[in-house]
Amino acid sequence: MNSNAETRKWKEADVPDQSGRVAIVTGANTGIGYQTAAVLAYSGAHVVLAVRDLAKGNAALSRIVAASPGADVTLQALDLSSLDSVRAAADALRSAYPRIDLLINNAGVMLTPKQVTKDGFELQFGTNHLGHFALTGLLLDHLLPVRGSRVVTVSSMGHRLRAAIHFDDLQWERSYNRMAAYAQSKLANLLFTYELQRRLSARPVKDNGTIAVAAHPGSSNTELTRNLPWFIKPVVDVFGPMLSQSAAMGALPTLRAATDPAVQGGQYYGPAGIGQQRGHPKLVDSSAQSHDEDLQRRLWAVSEELTGVTFPV
């Protein structure tokens, strides 16, 4: 943590040349996802914007190409709140890309009123965790043969707030608390990352070194705050700009997790500032609960059961 790599400020210019790499970024039409996809495209990657709203996705694609006419960007419909959509997107991506270098599980919803997905899952858990769990499982065999491939999942500082995996009521059918439900989904992102990394590390053949890494953006100015409760939103509207950072800065932990050659499997990156609210990215710690291996294994088994997706590791 005191190495030169950690004390200096890692920035967008540190992203290595990505030419020849294929990167899939979920939720890439806005916010952190857009900034991540744009930088990867500017760095030479072929970037797939995997988005629910194709009109917004096309607008994002146009902005990237306008800023960098040589950018190689395509669009893929993906609604993470529908397992049918996840499977259809995975089929299309597998057909189009025999090799995938980066899968960036970025899309998410935050603090939504009580809603369910098309498959009957609580919306935040179903979208933020189960949708990405299924997508990763369906695409992973196209990453495993690729040297240096990575699965990067975006979590949140919210994984510490009232966080637990409510196995007795995963879908919040008895009662609903939007903050606790969000925290459950973000804790699930980390439990998933660490369990996936352990399974990848246990593979008999590890020459290509596919790894699973996590990141969080700190407090960033994005559309995720649109579902804040009415009594909190005015405070955030007034003080948020002073406390938060731009989406471009918020994307740096994800970009570092995805591209820094020094990154190792099972690591977690976030802003270096006070409380990990803002700043340049560094290696950070997650909660003790997120490292509970029994919890990781139990959530993995339940996620396989709920999605019907098993992994090739």
Question: Tell me: the pLDDT tens digits for 159-212?
Answer: 989 889 999 999 999 999 999 999 999 999 999 999 999 999 998 765 568 999
| Contact predicate 237/225, CB 8 Å | no
Instruction: Tell me if 179 is assigned to some domain.
Output: yes
Dist CA 106 CA 117 (whole Å): 18
Give the rounded percent of residues in the chain with a pLDDT score beyond 70.
Answer: 89
Q: What is the pLDDT of residue 190?
A: 98
Q: What residue ranges in the chain does DSSP mark as E strands?
A: 22-26, 46-51, 72-77, 102-105, 150-154, 211-215, 268-271, 281-283
Instruction: Tell me if 54 is assigned to some domain.
Output: yes
Instruction: Tell me if 111 is assigned to some domain.
Output: yes
In the chain, the largest separation of any two C-alpha atoms, in whole Å, equals 54
Instruction: Tell me if 11 is assigned to some domain.
Output: no
The model's pLDDT over 62-119, given as tens digits with 9 standing for 90+, comes to 999 999 999 999 999 999 999 999 999 999 999 999 999 999 999 999 999 999 999 9
Dist CA 162 CA 183 (whole Å): 7
Average pLDDT over the chain reads: 91
Instruction: Tell me if 96 is assigned to some domain.
Output: yes
Instruction: Tell me if 313 is assigned to some domain.
Output: no
Dist CA 273 CA 27 (whole Å): 26
pLDDT for 124 beyond 80: yes
Q: What is the pLDDT of residue 207?
A: 56
Can you read off the two tokens belonging to residue 18? 């990505």
Dist CA 36 CA 42 (whole Å): 10
> In this structure, what CATH number is given to the domain that contains residue 145?
3.40.50.720
**Helix, coil or strand: residue 154:** strand
Catalytic residue, candidates 34, 182, 194, 268: 182
Instruction: Tell me if 43 is assigned to some domain.
Output: yes
- Structural domain of residue 212, as residue ranges? 16-307
Helix ranges restricted to H, 125-232 = 132-139, 178-201
Can you read off the two tokens belonging to residue 91? 């089929």
Instruction: Tell me if 260 is assigned to some domain.
Output: yes
Can you read off the two tokens belonging to residue 63? 């902005």
| Contact predicate 127/109, CB 8 Å | yes
Dist CA 84 CA 64 (whole Å): 29
pTM comes to 0.92
Q: What is the mean pLDDT of residues 204-230?
A: 71
Q: What is the pLDDT of residue 203?
A: 86
Q: What is the pLDDT of residue 35?
A: 98
pLDDT for 6 beyond 90: no
pLDDT for 22 beyond 50: yes
The tally of domains found in the chain comes to 1
34 is catalytic: no
